[in-house]
Amino acid sequence: MKVVVPVISANVPTSVLGIMDMLNYSQAFSNQLSPQKKRKNTFEVMLASAEKSKTINCNGYQLVCHTSLLPFEKADLVVVPAAVGNMAELVQKYPNLIQWILQQQKKGAAICSTCTGAFFVAATGLLDGKEATTSWFASHYFRMMFPKVKLLDEKIIVDNGKIVTGGATLSFMNLCIYLVEKYYGKELGNYCAKMFLVDKGKISQNSYSIFSVQKSHQDTEILKAQDFIEAHAQEKLTVGTISDEVLMSERTFIRRFKAATGNLPSEYIQRVKVEHAKKLLEKGQENVKEISYKSGYEDLNYFRDIFKRYTGLTPMEYKKMYSFSVD
């Protein structure tokens, strides 16, 4: 199977080289697993430059690509790696890459991305009306740029048949294992996962994510409301209380808050409170009941339910995983 990884100077080198190495090594692992049934090739991976030169200074690392995008006739599989920078500017800077992805898809290639590579795939229009994922830390900007895409930012892998998208940067490892399994079977996928120490059971990014308050808008009244929520995260808050604080009707407040931040006020309140609770849990100095109360939740069971909804872990599981000093 011919796999092409398109490369630009803004790519994360680990993502580019990691994808190439993991898919290439699947051949050796296949032969180890079944020496009597040696496959001719699993994945034949090529790096293709989207720049003018095949030698690219890729965020401080010099990568020498096998080929350029234009002469490459047809890939079986395209994997778009992670990039760093202003994604809106990068999408505008590389129309050649976006057109090439679209052309490869029309020729029958399966399209994949990992992390912010999803921005380039989404820019083709191929994800409109479809489910996808990207890095949790870029999800807000992704939603703003591509409102027609059904973003499932909690997922590590989303497969739409011919298009597979992966989560944050190092989830390229999960994506590669997924591709091995998708094209060559679960037995080889399991073997590769064991050799690379990849946890196949991890399906959510939620336990890693840090809620980013969306303040890039210009609605000053909503900015005041956001500041109020953050300053009073330890209190019991209602949408009505906050709308009164900024002198709006509740209906107008909900509409303007959603337009400015992409979140309903009720959801935003819960996410700020959960983030507040996470920081207290990480310190490891108080028990879950105390942290529940200090995050504005009087009902401990309700706190546990909300916390798990947004992180994928119970408060105690989170504390054991991330606290500096566990009791």
Nearest Cα to 82, choosing from 131, 120, 51, 47? 120
pLDDT at 35 over 90: no
Q: Give the N- to C-terminal CA distance of the chain in Å, as an integer.
A: 51
pLDDT band at 238 (very low <50, low <70, confident <90, very high): very high
- pLDDT grade for 325, boundaries at 50, 70 and 90: low
Residue with the two structure tokens 């849990």:
281
Q: What is the pTM of this model?
A: 0.75
CA distances from 261 to 135, 155, 219, 253, 277 (A): 18, 21, 10, 12, 22
pLDDT at 327: 47
Task: Please report which confidence band the pLDDT of residue 31 belongs to, taking 50, 70 and 90 as the band edges.
Answer: confident
pLDDT digits (tens, 9 = 90+) for 51-72: 999 999 998 899 999 999 987 7
Model pLDDT, residue 108? 94
Cβ contact 80:48 at 8 Å: no
Residues 138-159, mean pLDDT to the nearest whole number: 91
Residue 171, pLDDT > 80, answer: yes
In which band, very low, low, confident or very high, does the pLDDT at 38 lie, cut at 50, 70 and 90?
A: low
Judged against a pLDDT cut of 60, whether residue 280 lies above it is answered with: yes
CA-based radius of gyration for the chain? 22
Tokens of 112: 């994949």
Mean pLDDT of the chain: 91
- pLDDT, average across residues 180-198: 93
Regarding beta strands 44-49 and 2-7, do their DSSP bridges make them parallel or antiparallel, or are they unpaired?
A: parallel
Would you say 172 and 115 are in contact if contact means Cβ atoms under 8 Å apart?
yes
- Point out which residues pair with 6 in neighbouring strands: 48
- pLDDT at residue 193 tops 60: yes
pLDDT at 98 over 90: yes
Give the bridge partners for 165, in sequence order.
Answer: 113, 158
pLDDT at residue 158 above 60? yes
What is the pLDDT, as a whole number, of residue 204?
77
Question: Is the confidence at residue 251, as pLDDT, over 90?
Answer: yes
Q: Which range (25-39, 281-295, 299-313) has the least confidence?
A: 25-39
pLDDT at 22: 95
Range scoring the smallest mean pLDDT among 172-176, 212-216, 227-231? 212-216
State the Cα–Cα distance between residues 134 and 167, nearest whole angstrom.
5
User: What is the model's pLDDT at position 40?
Assistant: 65
Percent of the chain with pLDDT over 70: 96
Instruction: Kindly tell me if the per-residue pLDDT of 326 is higher than 60.
Output: no
Helix (H), strand (E) at residue 44: strand 44-49
Tens digit of each residue's pLDDT (9 = 90 or more) over 199-214? 887 777 777 776 776 7
- Domains of the chain in start order, with CATH, are 2-196 (3.40.50.880), 220-322 (1.10.10.60)
How distant, in Å, are the alpha carbons of 119, 150, 212, 262 from that of 81?
A: 10, 20, 23, 27
Q: What mean pLDDT is predicted for residues 175-196?
A: 94
Q: How many residues appear in the chain?
A: 327
pLDDT higher than 70, residue 112 = yes
